[in-house]
């Protein structure tokens, strides 16, 4: 294990990133950042005290961090800019940076990221549905999503691993055909709509002239493999068998990861804690086992926990002592039920 891996930095991430520049330049595969959102709110950790015997426990709140900016938006954006600029050289060429925000500043952050990482290195704006019950608003609609901006260090070297979720009743509906090889749906092989009117070259194939989307050799191959379906009106389509599809491909709309519930095992009481499933998805699609994953606004340590689970090395940082305590406790949880021993090793460094 190299220096700084599985390390928690306590202090400003600007100092942590500066401390890492010498040894970790171009070494980090993935940086996930969930900074304050410019929400004008003070955040706390909720925890229970007392509650012996028949007495119900009291809920106490301890301050964790403040998301208030005397200098307004300009101060916030400059704070973000300085830190992003120092983190950028830490990324590997095939690495990426994921910036988690919401409506307060995500549009400004997009412009900032375009400037720092390059407009052409923009990969996605992921919309994560973060609550099932948005608060009713007197003006406008209740907000229900966060935004995660994804940038590649080098667009030509970065690849995201596709993610699939299980089919549901709706996604199975198109699979309405079957033959001796199983259930299948039909995929268009001719240009449709606007593509059709864009003067796409037509050619004749097995008695039908059409603006085909694939080369003649490919169509012949599929025909030989029994993958072409001929409809009653002599149109061809390609069969896609349900057994050949790993699930429904996930798009940039992430509706399937619920927020952390108070009753769940992962709940820490840290108010802005993100779900492990969200971080696991990000880590698994943008890095490989053994890679280094960093989170410079680590809060309750969700990224480090997910990195441990997915066998990545990690670097975490937070300026709040309370956050670091929560993180340490979480990462030291005994994982071996037989020995009851904590199996996780990490170092805490003050910066
Ligand atoms: C939205 S929370 C992160 C929550 C985290 N993703 C989780 O799942 O628990 C933002 C965190 O950034 C920390 N923070 C704010 N400014 C910081 C700075 N300059 N350096 C390091 N951490 C900072 C706060 O203390 C807070 O814990």
**Cβ of residue 272 lying under 6 Å from some atom of ligand 1:** yes
10-residue mean pLDDT profile of the chain (351 residues): values are 82 97 92 98 91 79 97 98 97 98 98 98 98 87 96 97 94 96 96 74 93 95 96 94 95 96 95 98 98 98 97 97 96 71 80 95
Distance (Å) from CA 296 to ligand 1 centroid: 7
What local confidence, expressed as pLDDT, does residue 245 receive? 93
314, 293 Cβ separation under 8 angstroms: yes
CA distance 308 to 276: 11
Which residues 6+ apart lie within 8 Å of 212 measured at CB?
189, 190, 191, 202, 203, 205, 219
Quote the CA–CA distance of 65 and 298 in Å, as a whole number.
12
Give the per-residue pLDDT at 1.
47
- What is the predicted pLDDT for the residue at 154? 97
Q: Which tokens is 76 given?
A: 């916030």
DSSP for residue 340 = -
Does residue 24 contact residue 4 with C-beta atoms inside 8 Å?
Answer: yes
Cα–Cα distance measured from residue 44 to residue 60, given in angstroms and rounded to the nearest whole number: 9
Q: State the Cα–Cα distance between residues 187 and 206, nearest whole angstrom.
A: 18
Q: Is the CB of 322 under 6 A from ligand 1?
A: no
Class of domain 7-50+59-163+250-350: alpha beta
How many angstroms does the Cα of residue 303 sit away from the middle of ligand 1?
12
Q: Residue 201 Cα, ligand 1 centroid: separation in angstroms?
A: 54
pLDDT of residue 343: 63
Alpha-carbon span 328 to 347, nearest angstrom: 10
Q: Are 128 and 87 in contact (CB under 8 A)?
A: no
Nearest to 98 by CA among 194, 174, 180, 29: 29
Residues 21, 308, 23: CA angle, nearest 5 degrees: 15
Answer whether 100 contacts ligand 1 (Cβ < 6 A): no
Could you tell me the distance, in angstroms and rounded to a whole number, from the CA of residue 135 to the centre of ligand 1?
A: 24
* Ligand 1, atom nearest to 37 Cα: 1
Res 2: pLDDT: 56
In which residue are the tokens 């942590």 written? Answer: 16
For the entire predicted model, the pTM comes to 0.90
Q: How far apart are CA 47 and CA 51, in angstroms?
A: 12
Domain boundaries, the chain: 7-50+59-163+250-350, 170-244
């Amino acid at each position: 294990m190299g220096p700084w891996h599985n390390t928690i930095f306590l202090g400003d991430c600007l100092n942590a990133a500066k401390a890492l520049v010498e040894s970790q330049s171009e070494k980090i595969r993935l940086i996930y950042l969930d900074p304050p959102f410019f929400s004008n709110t003070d955040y706390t950790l909720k925890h229970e005290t007392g509650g012996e015997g028949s007495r119900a426990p009291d809920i106490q709140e301890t301050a964790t961090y403040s998301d208030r900016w005397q200098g307004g938006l300009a101060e916030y954006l400059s704070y973000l800019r300085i830190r992003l600029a120092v983190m950028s050289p830490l990324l590997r060429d095939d690495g990426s940076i994921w910036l988690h925000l919401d409506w307060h500043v995500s549009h400004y952050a997009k412009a900032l990221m375009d400037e720092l990482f390059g407009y052409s290195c923009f990969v996605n704006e992921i919309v994560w549905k973060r609550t099932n019950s948005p608060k009713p608003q007197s003006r406008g609609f209740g907000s229900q999503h966060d935004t995660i901006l994804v940038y590649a260090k080098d667009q030509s070297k970065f690849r995201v691993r596709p993610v699939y979720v299980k089919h549901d009743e709706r996604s199975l509906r198109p699979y309405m055909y079957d033959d001796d090889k199983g259930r299948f749906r039909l995929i268009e092989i001719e240009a449709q709509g606007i593509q059709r009117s864009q003067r796409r070259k037509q050619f004749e194939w097995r008695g039908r002239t059409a603006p085909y989307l694939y080369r003649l050799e490919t169509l012949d191959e599929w025909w030989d493999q029994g993958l072409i379906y001929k409809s009653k009106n002599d149109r061809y389509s390609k069969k896609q068998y349900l057994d050949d599809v790993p699930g429904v491909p996930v798009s940039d709309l992430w509706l399937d990861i619920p927020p952390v519930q108070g009753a769940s095992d992962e709940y820490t009481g840290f108010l802005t804690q993100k779900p492990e499933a969200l971080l696991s998805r990000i880590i698994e699609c943008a890095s490989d086992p053994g890679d280094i994953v960093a989170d410079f606004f680590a809060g309750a340590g969700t990224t480090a926990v997910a990195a441990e689970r997915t066998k990545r090395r990690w670097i975490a940082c937070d300026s709040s002592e309370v956050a670091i305590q929560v993180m340490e406790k979480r990462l030291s949880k005994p994982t071996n039920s037989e020995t009851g021993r904590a199996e996780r090793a990490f170092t805490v460094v003050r910066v």
